[in-house]
Amino acid sequence: MDSSSATMAVRAASSSFSSSSSTLFSISPKLNPTTKPTLFKIHTHKPRIIKTLKCIHSPTRRNGSQFSCSAVTFSPLQTTDLVPSKLQRLVAEFQSFPEPIDRVKRLLQYASLLPKFDDSSRVDSNRVMGCTAQVWLAASLDKEGRMRFAADSDSEITRGFCYCLVSILDGAAPEEVLTMKTDDLEALNVGLPGGQRSRANTWHNVLISMQKKTRALMAEREGKPPFEPFPSLIVTADGIHAKGSYAEAQATYLSPDEIKVQQLVNVLKEKKIGVVAHFYMDPEVQGVLTAAQKQWPHIHISDSLVMADSAVKMAQSGCKFITVLGVDFMSENVRAILDQAGFSEVGVYRMSNERISCSLADAASGPSYMSYLESASKASPSLHVVYINTSLETKAFAHELVPTITCTSSNVVQTILQAFTQVPDLQVWYGPDSYMGANIAELFLQMTKMTDEEIAEIHPQHNRDSIKSLLPRLHYYQDGTCIVHHLFGHEVVEKINEMYSDAFLTAHFEVPGEMFSLTMEAKKRGMGVVGSTQNILDFIKQRVQEALDRNVSDHLQFVLGTESGMVTSIVAAVRSLLNSSQNGAKVKVEIVFPVSSDSMTSTSSNSSSDPESIKTGDVILPVIPGVASGEGCSIHGGCASCPYMKMNSLSSLFKVCNHLPDESNILASYEAERFKCQTPNGKEIADVGCEPILHMRQFQALKKLPEKLINHILQSQGSGR
């Protein structure tokens, strides 16, 4: 293979492995260019075999180096300390080539030496998750208790990766396989210089698959029960398959009752009612709404930010009423934004005559949060960045204490970074979500270890020095959490690491630090996303589309690191992609719920055959997903389902819609509150509370904080407020 041919091969195979900015794919040879490759010992199944490598010659390079041939010794009876020594020799061999093209040629050479893979092992259970190319890995334990691996791929580059890993770990003790890390392979320095990150890291995914199979075989040998997987939904072009009772309950409502759908469409059309709902709605409600969208366009399911925007568009299109399916601060925001937009005559209705609370909104409305803001008001200059998931009253009271801008989980990082660039010596006070605040601080700490070029990709006006200088001036509230995202702590992360570290990981910015760090690591490899519910949905859609474009059989596995109600929108989006593609039949998409299969709420009914069952249409369910008594934040407690969001029932939606217009005042307790009281400074709460939201809208449009807010910050400086 000449140099130009090799270059073409490299380009053609570039999508099968990552060209990330890590040292794994940097160009930094540590050995003298003329250093000859050292011998490299690996194991096979036979006691003692000698093979001679066929040389792949290349034209003499400027430094005069060529590929050299070496003998490869196979021996399964070596002592265990040969694993690190084999790795060291392989590293030395690859580092002896100063040119990236030569290292890739050697990888292609090793690809040709990978033993033939048994066709019977090309099954889904042996597919390596997350690789752009198709990769298969088979594993077994021999009589001596050592691991045996075989691998194959439809990509030559990936075959070379597989050969290297198999050569190091085949014949190793299980403990050695489990202790090896991707970082140990960085010094091989094999890959493409420059360029963008690709969709997978082959080194990582094949190694993780080796370790997963090793753990399973060890458990089987020791007589332990097999690992219990999390419940999941598998979506294909042909339908949906549920694994585990939790997933079965979720799947039940994905094909809604057509009679209920038509009844809802009829009343919405007749009375010109718009519906805005959060992604976290109950699956039954979302199933009906998703189906009704096809006949009535004024139904929108989204995150909390877009709900108010959608309500304004519905009012502009002639809707006379807006029904809000969410917690109370969402209906408050919709009411206030409609008033600001000049649609005060449009009625806004909640789905309960009781308060629909939110743990985060409650955390920001107590005296502890006000005390936090009092401290912020004494520092100067200060900016309060408040999460949108708070009440209008909180936003108003906060804004009078400290200049305030609202943020979402998708724009909070950019908001804070931009604020630091516009106001010298600024103090930023974020709240109320403690996990998100800690995650932001951790992200900025990680940025101090990046290059200035990498930091500029996140925000063009920052570098390592500016990030280091802002860290002491970033503060976050320490006592506010979402009861749903609190679930994703150590217990869940431990199991994800054990069973799903080769899957695509998704995490809301509100998750605890353990889940955040794990998903951020996956994000670096193109295997994860951290952000808002919309960011999560977009990431899944993008990865599914990429799999369809590859036109190969594939199984994509996504761990859902947020509220389980999100699954309805995910399934709808995935099914749309699969059904609209000619290659859809080849792709399976699995959505994993990181909760115990028994994270259920038992319900009683009139069923004489089973007192622990309910009837939904013609289907009898023994349990439904959710939180028992509104409590139980653990892997077994079901907190992946928000008890407050589930107060938005389908029956409530029908009740509200059927009574509109409310001439008899039956729905008075359902009407969204329009604040008539005033702030301590004598201003209307609705007016002051909307200002932080409008500041955010201007920031999103202009990519910088509005002058009005900057002036407010500077005027407050030194006032002692």
393: containing domain:
363-482+679-716
Sheet holding 504-508, edge to edge: 239-243, 232-236, 587-592, 554-559, 504-508, 528-531
345-383 pLDDT, tens digit each: 999 999 988 888 888 888 888 899 999 999 999 998 999
pLDDT (mean) for 570-595:
89
Mean pLDDT score, 501-513: 87
Quote the number of domains for the chain. 4
Which of 417, 517, 504, 516 has the alpha carbon at shortest distance from 469? 417
Q: Does residue 350 sit in the same domain as residue 377? A: no
Average pLDDT over residues 217-245: 84
- Of the residues 222, 240, 266, the one at which a domain ends: 222
Question: Which range among 98-102, 346-350, 599-603, 664-668 has the greatest average pLDDT?
Answer: 346-350
Of 9-23, 73-87, 324-338, which gets the smallest average pLDDT? 9-23
Residue 32 lies in a domain: no
Statement to judge: residues 280 and 197 lie in one domain: no
Contacts of 601 (CB under 8 A, 6+ apart): 623, 624, 625, 626, 627, 628, 638
**Region 210-237: what's the mean pLDDT?**
85
Nearest to 388 by CA among 282, 569, 562, 533: 533
> Residue 243 domain-assigned?
no
Whether residues 523 and 575 share a domain: the answer is yes
Q: How, if at all, do strands 554-559 and 504-508 pair?
A: parallel
The confidence band for 148, taking pLDDT boundaries of 50, 70 and 90, is: very high
Which of 313-327, 457-471, 615-629, 694-708 is predicted least confidently? 615-629
Flag whether pLDDT at 628 surpasses 70. Answer: no
Together in a domain, 582 and 497 = yes
Q: What is the pLDDT of residue 703?
A: 93
Given the residues 69, 131, 657, 677, the one annotated as active site: 131
Is residue 402 located within the same domain as residue 511?
Answer: no
Annotated active-site residue 131? The verdict is yes
pLDDT at 428: 97
Bridge partners of residue 624, in order along the sequence = 601
* Residues paired with 557 in a beta bridge: 590
**Is residue 611's pLDDT more than 50?**
no
Taking 90 as the threshold, does the pLDDT of residue 639 lie above it? Answer: no
The pair of three-digit structure tokens given for residue 489, joined into one six-digit string: 């702590």
Answer yes or no: do 162 and 218 share one domain: yes
Please say which residue of 551, 567, 592 terminates a domain.
592
Give alpha helix (H) positions in 513-630: 513-524, 533-550, 567-580
Do 566 and 686 sit in the same domain of this protein? Answer: no
How far is Cα 438 from Cα 455, in angstroms, rounded to an integer? 19
Domain with residue 557: its CATH number is: 3.40.50.10800
Write a three-state SS string for 79-145. Answer: CCCHHHHHHHHHHHHHHCCCCHHHHHHHHHHHHCCCCCCCHHHCCHHHECCCCCCCEEEEEEECCCC
- Do the bridges between strand 600-602 and strand 587-592 make them parallel or antiparallel, or are there none, so unpaired? unpaired
| Average pLDDT score over residue span 74-93 | 69
Tell whether pTM > 0.75: no
Q: What is the pLDDT of residues 159-188, one digit of tens each?
A: 988 999 999 999 999 999 998 887 777 777
Instruction: Let me know if residue 77 belongs to a domain.
Output: no
